[in-house]
Amino acid sequence: METKVKSACETCAHFNKDGLKKLGIHTDDFDFIVALAGNPNTGKSTVFNALTGLKQHTGNWPGKTVTRAEGGFEYNTEKYKLVDLPGTYSLMSTSEDEEAARDFILFGKPDVTVIVADANRLERNLNLVLQILEITDKAVLCLNLMDEAKRNKVDIDVRTLSRDLGIPVVPTSARFNQGIPELIQTISEIASGKIVCKPHRIKNVPKNIEKAVKTLTDQIEKEFPNIPNSRWIAFRLLEGDKQIINALRTGEFL
């Protein structure tokens, strides 16, 4: 008799395989919004396709996803709307793509942000990871292209990385669907509040700046009680960020 060898995901203790339905373009009545962000060419659209069953354009050159794509999946009866953002190296809003990604993470108020990073270029990717963690505290790092990392003998201490960043880190090889069940489970646990992230934030801010930031933060929160990250916005106001000033004026944050 033939014995079927179970894949890692089938034996995974937490993932409920029968609880997953790929919803394609159907994103009506969603319970949670999930953003997919990351550097160009890290496999965001591959992750998007694995979760939604769609066929977003993927390929081996950067800048393929130019506008955001949306799709859905259902997991354990909750519906998730997934938004595939263009790849960017930073969120400084110096290009249209960066602005689109930043605006969505900030104004789209995703319940979970999945940051897809290339495990072979972790150091370079961390720049964007840390910028995203300044804006949102509900995030998971999807450490993708692990198959290539293994081939290149790149060894990453996932537990230490997760502890230092203050968010869950899930190693994946999205092209081969490896780690995707764990990623889905982690997304659902962040969305439901079962996992609480404590992301790494810039410390050692000079006293006088800290004081100004505190004053501004209090004022912002008084004016906009449900604002996503008042401290980050306070920093942008001190820098004179025109886009953020304008967003506060027009009430785009509400």
Query: By CB under 6 A, is residue 87 in contact with ligand GTP?
Result: yes
Query: By CB under 6 A, is residue 134 in contact with ligand GTP?
Result: no
Query: By CB under 6 A, is residue 62 in contact with ligand GTP?
Result: yes
- Of 65 and 88, CB closest to Mg ion: 65
**Distance, CA of 178 to CA of 162 (rounded, Å):** 19
Q: Report the chain's C-alpha Rg in angstroms.
A: 19
Query: By CB under 6 A, is residue 217 in contact with ligand GTP?
Result: no
Contact partner at residue 173 from ligand GTP, Mg ion, none, CB < 5 to 8 Å by partner kind: ligand GTP
Note whether 50 and 177 are within 8 A (CB).
yes
Contact partner at residue 181 from ligand GTP, Mg ion, none, CB < 5 to 8 Å by partner kind: none
Q: Which of 39, 65, 172, 173 binds Mg ion (CB under 5 A)?
A: 65
Q: Which residues contact 35 (CB under 8 A, 6 or more apart)?
A: 83, 85, 104, 105, 108, 110, 112, 113, 114
**Distance, CA of 35 to CA of 110 (rounded, Å):** 6
Amino acid symbol at 130:
L
- The distance of closest approach from Cβ of residue 61 to ligand GTP in the complex, given in angstroms and rounded to an integer, is 7
Query: By CB under 6 A, is residue 81 in contact with ligand GTP?
Result: no
Q: 189's torsion region: left (phi>0), alpha (psi -120 to 50) or beta? A: alpha
**Which among 89, 139, 91 has a CA at the least distance from the CA of 113?**
139
Note whether 184 and 51 are within 8 A (CB).
yes
Window contacting Mg ion (CB under 5 A); options: 62-70, 88-96, 117-125, 192-200: 62-70
Query: By CB under 6 A, is residue 173 in contact with ligand GTP?
Result: yes
Query: By CB under 5 A, is residue 178 in contact with Mg ion?
Result: no
Residues that bind ligand GTP (CB under 6 A): 38, 40-46, 58-60, 62-65, 87, 144-145, 147-148, 173-175
Residues that bind Mg ion (CB under 5 A): 44-45, 64-65
